[in-house]
Amino acid sequence: MKLLRVGAPGAEKPAILDAGGRARDLSGVVDDIAGAALTPEGLARIAAVDPASLPELPAGRIGPCVGQVGKFLCIGLNYADHAAESGLAVPEEPVMFAKATSAICGPDDEVKIPRGATKTDWEVELGVVIGKPGAYIPEEEAMAHVAGYCVVNDISERAFQIERGGQWTKGKSADTFGPIGPWLVTADEVPDPQALSMWLEVDGRRYQDGSTATMVFGVRHLVHYVSQFMSLHPGDIITTGTPPGVGMGQSPQVWLQGGEVMRLGIEGLGIQTQKVGHA
């Protein structure tokens, strides 16, 4: 299934794509694409409904594909070639940090460079959405906890991230720095999350062109690993790192200035398009 949320910010309706690619209103089935709706039982309830029997929603803004996200967790340096372009060693264990959930926005919403920023960058990433809750999840059971997958643009202000002291979170959490969607594609439609092509363009120039096959730590291990440090709940998102081609890795380095258009996608998970503005 391809699940999405359609409508103005804060007033999105839950929806499912039908066979013709039309958004059908799930409001009579679930309150939101969030929480209990993402558990195995919640997804089974949605799957039992014929999309053609649901009202068609008028075309409009696509919101973040998951509502009420509790945790927005990130894995850094999870592609060996990206670590190399960053001048950093491949980590022995996954590098974890967080983005503020207030950074989350729709896949085609304007991305706003924060005040005082000088080195704003892009990162196409595979997002893993948790469905079944758990803690201390055995690696062999980890995939049963995944509701599905989505495209994430892990936008970063490198000066805040690297040059301002402390952890990475301050460079990752500005409003609009977390576009997710357009769809939450359920796990049954993604048989191998480690075999997905992914790409990102800025003003038509392709900077990133990679594959989840080159992850250092795969989805199965990451869900297991993260659950050793905190419980995971339905609607939590783990975004899993980016392939090479970020602005920081260019020679000379390239930063978003405002006015650009970013376009990015992952095989089977849809495409995002964002104009870059200023806060």
Model pLDDT for residues 230-245, shown as the tens digit of each residue: 999 999 999 999 999 9
What's the average model confidence in pLDDT over 221-236? 98
| 98 has a pLDDT exceeding 90 | yes
- pLDDT at 88 (0 to 100): 75
Considering the chain, what percentage of its residues have pLDDT values greater than 90?
94
Q: Is the pLDDT of residue 24 over 80?
A: yes
Conformational region of residue 21, where left means phi above 0, alpha means psi within -120 to 50, and beta covers everything else: left
Q: Which residues pair with 121 in a beta bridge?
A: 156
Answer whether residue 81 shows pLDDT above 90.
no
pLDDT computed for residue 167 by the predictor: 83
**To the nearest whole number, what is the mean pLDDT of the chain?**
97
* pLDDT above 70 coverage of the chain, percent: 100
**Residue 124 confidence (pLDDT):** 98
80: pLDDT strictly greater than 90: no
Can you tell me the distance from the alpha carbon of 185 to that of 187, in angstroms, rounded to the nearest whole number?
6
Residue 94 has pLDDT above 80, yes or no: yes
Specify the DSSP class assigned to residue 37.
G
Pinpoint the residues of the chain covered by CATH 3.90.850.10: 72-278
Contact between residue 75 and residue 95 where contact means Cβ atoms under 8 Å apart: yes
278 secondary structure, DSSP code: E
pLDDT value of residue 66? 98
Q: How far apart are CA 50 and CA 201, in angstroms?
A: 36
CA-based angle 161:163:246, to the nearest 5?
Answer: 50
When pLDDT is averaged across residues 43-54 and rounded to a whole number, the result is 98
pLDDT of 211 strictly over 80: yes
Is it the case that residue 83 has pLDDT exceeding 80?
no
The pLDDT, as a whole number, for residue 195 is: 98
pLDDT digits (tens, 9 = 90+) for 120-168: 999 999 999 999 999 999 999 999 999 999 999 999 999 999 999 888 9
pLDDT in tens, 50-76: 999 999 999 999 999 999 999 999 999
pTM of this structure: 0.97
The C-alpha atoms of residue 137 and residue 92 are separated, in whole angstroms, by 20
Domain 72-278 has CATH 3.30.1300.10: no
